[in-house]
Amino acid sequence: MTSFCLEVSGPFACFTRPEMKVERVSYDVMTPSAARSIFESVLWKPAIRWRVHRIEVLKPFRWINLRRNEVSAVVSTRNVQQAMAAGSGTLGLYIEDERQQRAGYFLRDVAYRIHADLSLAPGGTEPLMKYTEMFTRRASKGQCVNQPYLGCREFAAAFSLVTADTPPATPIGETRELGWMLHDLDFTRPSDPQPRFFNAKLDKGVVQVPPFEEARG
C-alpha cells in the first residue's frame, strides 16, 4: 500500500446531499467518493483500488446561490437496447424540450489536500510499484484520463501532486460536527448499489475518513 496526496482547487464545487430531492445543496466538505474520483481520473485500472483516508480544507467556507439550466431526462435503456438490436436508432435528446431550471447552493473558491492509499485489488498479481510509478509520473505532469471535477462535471478541478518538496499548506482552524456524510456506494450488488454514510467531523480543518467497512447503510 502506498499513500499519495493531491492538492485540488476550483472556483465552484457541489458535493450534493442525497436528502435534497429537488434543488442541489452541497455538503460543507468534499465527500470521500468525490475525492476518490479525482484520484481515479488520474489513474484507474481494474487491478488497483483507491482508499481516501484524510481530507484537508485549505480555504474558509464560502457559499453562492446559482440557478442553472439542466436536462430533466436521460436516454432510456430500452431505447439503447432496441437501437443496438436494430443496428440504428434515434438516441438524441432535444434540449429545448427537456430543459429545466434548478437552483443550487454551492461552495465557491475551494481548495483541498486529499490523501489516499493505493493498493492492489483482490487477486491482483502485478507489482504495486508499477502503478505507483505510473500515478506519480502522470500526476506530476498534470495528465489525467478525464478532467477531474468537484462534485459536478461542470465544476472542473485543478490538481497537483504534493511531494516532500511541495511547500506546506495549513488547513483552516475550524472544528465542528458535519453530521452524516456520504462515504461511497456499496457495489456488492452491482444492479442495486447502496449508499454508505459516516459521521463526519471537521477537526482543525481536517476530516479523517474511516475505512469503508465501518460506514453505515
Give the domain ranges of the chain. 2-69+103-214
Q: What is the CATH number of domain 2-69+103-214?
A: 3.30.70.2660
pLDDT tens column, 154-212 = 999 999 999 999 999 999 999 999 999 999 988 888 888 889 999 999 999 999 999 98
pTM exceeds 0.95:
no
For residue 212, how many C-alpha atoms fall within 13 Å in the half-sphere facing its CB?
19
pLDDT tens column, 88-124 = 777 776 666 666 677 889 999 999 999 999 999 887 7
Take residue 189 and report the three cell numbers written for it. Answer: 450488488
State whether residue 81 is helix, strand or coil. Answer: helix
Take residue 50 and report the three cell numbers written for it. Answer: 483507491
Crossing angle, helix 128-141 and helix 32-42, to 10 degrees?
Answer: 90
Query: E strands of the chain, at which residues?
Result: 2-13, 24-25, 48-57, 63-71, 99-120, 158-161, 176-186, 194-202, 206-208
Please report where in the chains the cell 481520473 appears, as a residue.
Answer: 41
